Amino acid sequence: MDLTPAELTLLGLLVEKPRHGYELDEVITERGMREWTEIGFSSIYYLLTKLRDRGLVEETGERAHGKSRKVFAPTAAGRRVCAQAAEAAIAEPRPVFPPVLVGLANQPVIPPDRLRAALARRAEALAERVAAIRAAAPPDAPPFVRAIFDHSLTQLEAEQAWLAAYRRDLP
């Protein structure tokens, strides 16, 4: 059973512990997950409904914080599918389609001064993202959460190194 990255993210958070939509949104924000996954607050209940309809989560009937919010928990099938999908996501490299590659493929149409300016803006944006991720990384996070931050930082730092070399080699 294929899961989208957003579905797998929510299912994984529910495997950690049953939660309601607002709590899922809080955890996503606290862990900086929006840096690497596309889950908006408005899509959380939509995704939970999809997971429920596929038999991967169920409403527990619990009340959250004294309010009647729907709390969701994984089913046995949901736990199994989550583990399989997470393992596949780690083991199988998948293509990524960064817009920067489309821009680079079309750079001959960009005047040289504007190309240099665009590359400088990208360098600034990368530096800001690196700083933001470093600031958001919780020092006492469990190893699996630290791994996410470390992976993101390593990718950004690799792009910074590539960008510096590329800018240096421009005519």
- Domain range summary for the chain, segments of one domain joined by +: 5-91, 99-169
Q: How confident is the prediction for the chain on average, in pLDDT? A: 91
For residues 38 and 47, is the Cβ–Cβ distance under 8 A?
no
Q: Tell which residue, 2, 41, 47, has the closest CA to residue 23.
A: 41
Q: Whole-structure pTM over 0.75, yes or no?
A: yes
Mean per-residue pLDDT, 81-100? 94
Q: Any idea what DSSP says for residue 69?
A: P
> Which fold, 5-91?
Arc Repressor Mutant, subunit A (1.10.10)
Give me the pLDDT at residue 62, please.
61
For residues 41 and 20, is the Cβ–Cβ distance under 8 A?
no
- Half-sphere exposure in the Cβ direction for 63 (13 Å, CA): 4
Residue 28: pLDDT band (50, 70, 90) is very high
Compare 157 and 42 and report the one with higher pLDDT.
Answer: 157
| Backbone region of residue 144 per phi and psi (left: phi > 0; alpha: psi in -120 to 50; beta: other values) | alpha
Render pLDDT for 39-78 as a digit per residue (tens, 0 to 9).
988 899 999 999 999 999 999 876 555 566 789 999 999 9
